[in-house]
Structure 1
Amino acid sequence: MTRRSRFFRTAALSLGAVVALSACTASESTESASLAGTTSSPDAPLTVIAEANEIAASVATSRELFDTTPVVVVAPVGEPEAQDVAARAAITLGVPLLIGEATADSEDDAAAAAPADGTDAETTDAEAEVGADADADADADADADATEGAAPEPSPSPAEKSEETTDAVADELDRLSATTALLIGDAADIPAQNGDESDLTVVRADATTRAIERVLGRTIAARTSDNPVLFATELATFETPAAPSTSTPTSGASEIPSVKRPKPIDDTAAIAINGPEQLASIATTRAAGIPVHVLTEGSANPQAEASVIDALHTTPGEKTLALGAAFGAEPALDWKVRTARTGAQLPGGGQLLFADHQFVAIYGTPSTPVLGVLGEQDVAGSVARAQQVAAPYQGLTAKTVVPMFEIIATVAAGGAGPDGNFSNELSAETLRPWIDAAAAAGMYVVIDLQPGRTDFLTQAQQYQSLLELPNVGLALDPEWRLAPDELHLHTIGSVSAAEVNSVTHWLADLTNEKGLPQKMLIVHQFRPSMVTDRQNLDLSRPEIAMLLHVDGQGGQADKQATWANLQRDAPPGVAWGWKNFYDEDAPMLTPEQTISGVQPTPELITYQ
């Protein structure tokens, strides 16, 4: 598309000019009132605006949401206070906010304040030294390039960078067919293209709420805090006029033409990283009628905050816009957003397992007391017992305590059985009432596998219908994983990292495909030999939270030695579980002793 050339003329409208404008013909008035922008929702289910540069991010957001607009607001780069005022104007009008370069005057003021040696007035000695080191490094790099026979590519000068960013804003104004630009504070004029004059009117206003109100002829709510860290969250909830409506002034005379707000985009929700870098993107998104939910916990993962999950779930439509450079590096963001939109939350809240939760489980298999305390009572009794066991931990940790069942679904057998695998499998239908009762009580459930001579993946796939539930995870018990010629109670079994990884990948793919919250994957261990080449365990899939569960029993000195031994050379990032045995420990730790005496504090504490 041929870019329209532009010459920016500042509209200095006096009271007489305003009176003259008010005397325009009826046809001119109708034409002015009909000015309206047009918007389009994003094409993809998930669109990420990940530009780190404020100018580029503002342009990218505008291009994503606005097709045309008669008015554009422009604020100076690196000035959050001015950008916040400009954002309120843009949201009020229903038009994009672009970030441009600052005026030469503001740069001259900064230069005048600098000391004679050229360093910044507020630069510390350490910073000056770092700058000198950086210059030296740059010179060294250039010398190295020259030595290798390749001329170093010159870096763009500040003037060239300014011209590039100015062109980006000018191009966007051109694409939008804007006829008026409201420049806030130190926002620089954009030079004419090819030296030709165009019809763009530029109106300037100081970066204050009062100045903006005078220009717009309407009242704008002022911010409640002067802390730039809080600007993003406040803008996300900034009230916009009901749309569609015309932004006719409500008080005084306006220097901006009346603009009909575009029809709001109603099939999209936005999430944003908290910070002043996102102010323009948030403003443009809100101007397009899209709700914005700011992630406030310092993470780019929407699953980490229950409030964001609820907000995304209750927002109509299926499209999501992610605003912030951190989203560009967030692994599996598509799954995380899709899962958050389902609204399904783990017991204890959120969709991540270990950051804020302390799990306390009872272990066993239904109707089989000899295998653990879970089988000593019926479903309702087991729910009550799990809650009773977990209750003392509530006052011992700042985390949310979550009661849990670990149900042995496949039980190691002394005989081969009809399928020859030395493992008796309970049906998914048999386990479903236990899982439903646990879910109703706000409990998590893990299905435990003792596979005998078959492999873990084969058995796990038999319980896919249960693993598709949001409160169900999986446990692998290598003690009962036999080679073809081995027998239970004669050999302590083992599993390779490759076999565990096959389960990890299958379960992660299932979790991703079904849009489920993160799954717990437990690997039981009390000897190093039980998990061969453990350093090769794959912990890269964010859909899975892997936990190594230390099952040592007996005297506490021996249990602590096993705990320390298994922690040695463990894969970084793995979570940990500890088991208290009612009958085999001498003595069994109290909840207080477990929390204070087992370090690091285990994310899962199991009772058998």
Structure 2
Amino acid sequence: MTLAWLRRPSRAVAVALGLCALVLAAVGTPAEEEPVGVTEQVSTSVDVAAGDAVDPVRIAPTARPRWKAERVLPPGGMLIAYYGTAGSGALGVLGETPPDRAHRRLARAAAPFERPRRPVRLVYELIVSIADAYPGRDGDYSHDIARSDVRRYVDAARENGALVVLDIQPGRSGFQRAAKRWAWALREPHVGLALDPEWRMGPGEVPGRVIGRVRAEEVNRVSAWLSRMMLERNLPEKVLVLHQFRGSMLPDVRRIVRREGLQLVQHVDGFGTPGQKLDTYDAVARPGRFAMGFKLFYDEDRPLMGARAVHRIRPRVRLVSYQ
């Protein structure tokens, strides 16, 4: 089976041709999950997928304010997203047009997914920290887009009744350090967060030359910080999206814990034929632990799967994003 489809064509800076050989060497089934110590107490229980072995985690009793239990994913509901960055179509469809026009296009794309008693919400997944092939002034191989651009999408989403998900490609910086720069936007009730391990580089690694990875310990630190923020501010539930198309990108996925006030979504990327995309989905999906997401590529998928085909996927997809 051809494996080039496992590589997600996230951006031009990926030095794409040089990455193909790397992807061909790392075939589709998840890497063996390695044990790692959980270094912090968590605020809620661990959701265990069938067959997953999870070490006990102590629950820290804490006094909390009353939480506004508004679910970002109501029973039976779906999120339909456009993915990209501001002012450019190179990284995805979201940036091809101004926010209001993108919203209208997204609404048309989302309409076929609607079903009786299955509400659909629209989402702008905006890449706010973009991985680079060069170190930049701070040496982290990533740069942030302008705050004013993020504000435009946050404001447009509020006016249009949509959600925003801020996507982080951190380079050699940690996810939490990068995410905290966007705390001002994450304090908004309709703004969530996405972590993209493909672009989480280790020392000496360069985006586009290797496929990155992140350990559960780092994800858990981010989720603890985000959960505390929204509980303290009595915000409605937020989504925390984890992108993945290879098992090695989240090598100890079973240790990622759930947090009060956060809906964890495992978003399975990968382009190609429907059969190839579903092979990736089957290989990495952990539905007992996460709500499931699925990426559709306008240019790379052959053919592009429609709403009916996505609705047939099992375990059921709750977040669909178009790139």
Give the TM-score range, shorter chain: 0.7 to 0.9
1:579 corresponds in structure 2 to 295
2:197 corresponds in structure 1 to 478
Q: Cα distance, 1:370 vs. partner?
A: 0.9
Task: Say yes or no: does 1:399 pair with 2:128.
Answer: no
- Write the deviation string for residues 335-389 of structure 1: whole angstroms up to 9, x where unpaired: 4x3426xxxxxxxxx4443434210000000111110001110122112112121
- Write the deviation string for residues 509-560 of structure 1: whole angstroms up to 9, x where unpaired: 0011111011100000000000121110011x22111110000111111111
Tell me how far apart the structure 1 counterparts of residues 228 and 209 of structure 2 sit (CA, whole Å): 36
Aligned residues: 263
1:339 corresponds in structure 2 to 68
Amino acid aligned to 2:262 = I
2:131 corresponds in structure 1 to 412
8 Å Cα contact 1:579-1:605 kept in structure 2: yes
1:592 corresponds in structure 2 to 308
- DSSP-derived class of the 1:403 partner: strand
Amino acid aligned to 1:437 = A
1:387 corresponds in structure 2 to 107
1:463 corresponds in structure 2 to 182
8 Å Cα contact 1:361-1:406 kept in structure 2: yes
Tell me how far apart the structure 2 counterparts of residues 425 and 363 of structure 1 sit (CA, whole Å): 16
Unmatched tracts of structure 2, length 5 or more? 1-60
- Write the deviation string for residues 150-175 of structure 1: whole angstroms up to 9, x where unpaired: xxxxxxxxxxxxxxxxxxxxxxxxxx
Amino acid aligned to 1:402 = R
Taking structure 1 as reference, are residues 516 and 332 closer, same or farther at Cα in structure 2, changes over 3 Å only?
Answer: farther
2:273 corresponds in structure 1 to 555
8 Å Cα contact 2:287-2:315 kept in structure 1: no
Structure 2 residue aligned with 1:544, among 256, 259, 262? 262
Tell me how far apart the structure 2 counterparts of residues 501 and 390 of structure 1 sit (CA, whole Å): 31
1:434 corresponds in structure 2 to 153
Divergent runs of 4+, >4 A: 331-335
Taking structure 1 as reference, are residues 355 and 334 closer, same or farther at Cα in structure 2, changes over 3 Å only?
Answer: farther
User: Any residues of structure 2 matched to 1:29-68 within 5 Å, and which?
Assistant: none
Tell me how far apart the structure 2 counterparts of residues 397 and 534 of structure 1 sit (CA, whole Å): 34
Tell me how far apart the structure 1 counterparts of residues 73 and 63 of structure 2 sit (CA, whole Å): 17
2:73 corresponds in structure 1 to 353
- Write the deviation string for residues 264-300 of structure 1: whole angstroms up to 9, x where unpaired: xxxxxxxxxxxxxxxxxxxxxxxxxxxxxxxxxxxxx
Task: Say yes or no: does 1:374 pair with 2:103.
Answer: no
Tell me how far apart the structure 1 counterparts of residues 63 and 265 of structure 2 sit (CA, whole Å): 23
8 Å Cα contact 1:428-1:465 kept in structure 2: no
Taking structure 1 as reference, are residues 338 and 566 closer, same or farther at Cα in structure 2, changes over 3 Å only?
Answer: closer
- Write the deviation string for residues 28-66 of structure 1: whole angstroms up to 9, x where unpaired: xxxxxxxxxxxxxxxxxxxxxxxxxxxxxxxxxxxxxxx
Amino acid aligned to 1:604 = L
2:14 corresponds in structure 1 to none
User: Any residues of structure 2 matched to 1:77-226 within 5 Å, and which?
Assistant: none
Tell me how far apart the structure 1 counterparts of residues 297 and 158 of structure 2 sit (CA, whole Å): 25
- Write the deviation string for residues 466-514 of structure 1: whole angstroms up to 9, x where unpaired: 0000100000000000011011111000000000001000000001111
Q: Cα distance, 1:427 vs. partner?
A: 3.4
Amino acid aligned to 2:263 = A
Q: Cα distance, 1:563 vs. partner?
A: 0.5
Amino acid aligned to 2:167 = D
Tell me how far apart the structure 2 counterparts of residues 353 and 465 of structure 1 sit (CA, whole Å): 23
Tell me how far apart the structure 1 counterparts of residues 300 and 185 of structure 2 sit (CA, whole Å): 32
Task: Say yes or no: does 1:606 pair with 2:321.
Answer: yes
8 Å Cα contact 1:534-1:571 kept in structure 2: no
Structure 1 residue aligned with 2:84, among 360, 364, 367? 364
Amino acid aligned to 1:510 = M
- DSSP-derived class of the 1:470 partner: coil
Structure 2 residue aligned with 1:493, among 188, 202, 212? 212
Taking structure 1 as reference, are residues 529 and 390 closer, same or farther at Cα in structure 2, changes over 3 Å only?
Answer: same
Tell me how far apart the structure 1 counterparts of residues 315 and 67 of structure 2 sit (CA, whole Å): 33
Task: Say yes or no: does 1:507 pair with 2:222.
Answer: no
- Write the deviation string for residues 440-483 of structure 1: whole angstroms up to 9, x where unpaired: 11111100000000010001000001000010000000000001
Tell me how far apart the structure 1 counterparts of residues 83 and 116 of structure 2 sit (CA, whole Å): 22
8 Å Cα contact 1:548-1:575 kept in structure 2: yes
Taking structure 1 as reference, are residues 332 and 603 closer, same or farther at Cα in structure 2, changes over 3 Å only?
Answer: farther
Larger radius of gyration: 1
User: Any residues of structure 2 matched to 1:216-365 within 5 Å, and which?
Assistant: 334-335=64-65, 337-339=66-68, 350-365=70-85
Amino acid aligned to 1:603 = R
Higher normalized helix content (fraction of residues) = 1
- DSSP-derived class of the 2:170 partner: coil
8 Å Cα contact 2:267-2:292 kept in structure 1: yes
Taking structure 1 as reference, are residues 431 and 468 closer, same or farther at Cα in structure 2, changes over 3 Å only?
Answer: same
Q: Cα distance, 1:393 vs. partner?
A: 1.4
Q: State the superposition RMSD in angstroms.
A: 1.7
Taking structure 1 as reference, are residues 378 and 428 closer, same or farther at Cα in structure 2, changes over 3 Å only?
Answer: same
- DSSP-derived class of the 1:406 partner: strand
1:518 corresponds in structure 2 to 237
Structure 1 residue aligned with 2:171, among 452, 465, 486? 452
Taking structure 1 as reference, are residues 334 and 430 closer, same or farther at Cα in structure 2, changes over 3 Å only?
Answer: same
Q: Which structure has the higher relative contact order (CA within 8 Å, separation 6+)? A: 2
8 Å Cα contact 2:68-2:236 kept in structure 1: yes
Tell me how far apart the structure 1 counterparts of residues 116 and 308 of structure 2 sit (CA, whole Å): 10
Taking structure 1 as reference, are residues 332 and 435 closer, same or farther at Cα in structure 2, changes over 3 Å only?
Answer: farther
Unmatched tracts of structure 1, length 5 or more? 1-330, 341-349
8 Å Cα contact 1:537-1:571 kept in structure 2: no
